[in-house]
Amino acid sequence: MKKKNRAIKKTSEKKVSKSRNLVIVFTILVLAIAGYTYFYNYGFQLPAYPLNSPNLIGHYTFDGNVLDSSLSHNNGEIIGLLDCNSAGIIGQACKFSGDSSVALNNLNVNSTNRAKTSVAFLMYWDGTDGVMPLGWGNSATGERGFSNLYFSKGYFGISSYESGILGISSSNLKNKWVYVVAVFSNDIPSASNSAIYLNGIKQNLVQQIGINSGSVEYATVSNSLQIGSSATGMYKFSGMIDDFRVFNIELSQNDALELYKEL
């Protein structure tokens, strides 16, 4: 009788175990189908260049300060009087009133010929002409760069030593937040080696004003960057800048779009 009861018990346990395994298999199957359906419809997207990315060499949220939240921990230096408590798209932003800038030094950029460096940031330009949201180099330390982003005579784009602009019309950029991604090359700026993305969309760059330098020496990035002015502290920007990032690689259109989607 005991043997019979043990046999019945074992048979019952096997049935329970089998039922449990079927439930587990069914659950996994349902989750797999649900996951496939979600990623088929929405795609699998990871944040573009998270804070621990080795290619992100500077990230300045401008939330009341100019500290670097990337792995570089390369904090900025405020030049002049700067308000970094203005309302931005992401938390707070720095308000530039034509009398201040932020100096970034010792950036780990690639300074070899034709190497690429990218910046990404939110910009609110108030329409003031003849200003630069950023300029590579620092005349105070002897760091030469001369590549800039420049607003002049109705245009916005990449400029070098001769103040020519490879860019676009600035008519649609005034008094609004725009997400800017700019790619600089250690070479004479051209539409083939440089890029500007606005809100994730690649712009058609054209030589709008003058010429850009015929010498690579005057058309490069450097280990120093001025946010809100040129390398010499001139052409001071008027408006707001928020969530400023520096990358030591070329960002693609997909990168620019993903960064914009993260806002």
Asked whether residue 230 falls in the same domain as residue 107, the answer is: yes
pLDDT tens digits along 45-100? 344 455 567 899 999 999 999 999 999 999 999 999 999 999 999 899 999 999 99
Asked whether residue 8 falls in the same domain as residue 92, the answer is: no
Is residue 111 very low, low, confident or very high in pLDDT (cuts 50, 70, 90)?
Answer: confident
243 pLDDT exceeds 50?
yes
Asked whether residue 7 falls in the same domain as residue 102, the answer is: no
pLDDT tens digits along 139-183? 676 666 678 999 999 999 998 766 688 999 999 999 999 999 999
Q: What's residue 38's pLDDT? A: 34
- Give a yes or no: residue 108 inside a domain: yes
The three-point CA angle 49-246-45 to 5° equals: 15
Alpha-carbon distances of 19 from 5, 13, 26, 32, 206, rounded to whole Å? 21, 10, 10, 20, 68
Asked whether residue 32 falls in the same domain as residue 106, the answer is: no
- Give a yes or no: residue 50 inside a domain: no
Alpha-carbon distances of 215 from 141, 175, 188, 201, 224, rounded to whole Å? 22, 35, 7, 30, 20
Asked whether residue 10 falls in the same domain as residue 79, the answer is: no
Locate 122 and state its tokens. 């939110």
Is residue 103 very low, low, confident or very high in pLDDT (cuts 50, 70, 90)?
Answer: very high
Q: What's residue 260's pLDDT? A: 95
Range(s) of the domain holding residue 32: 1-44
What pTM did the predictor assign? 0.78
pLDDT tens digits along 12-33? 555 545 556 555 555 555 445 5
Asked whether residue 171 falls in the same domain as residue 206, the answer is: yes
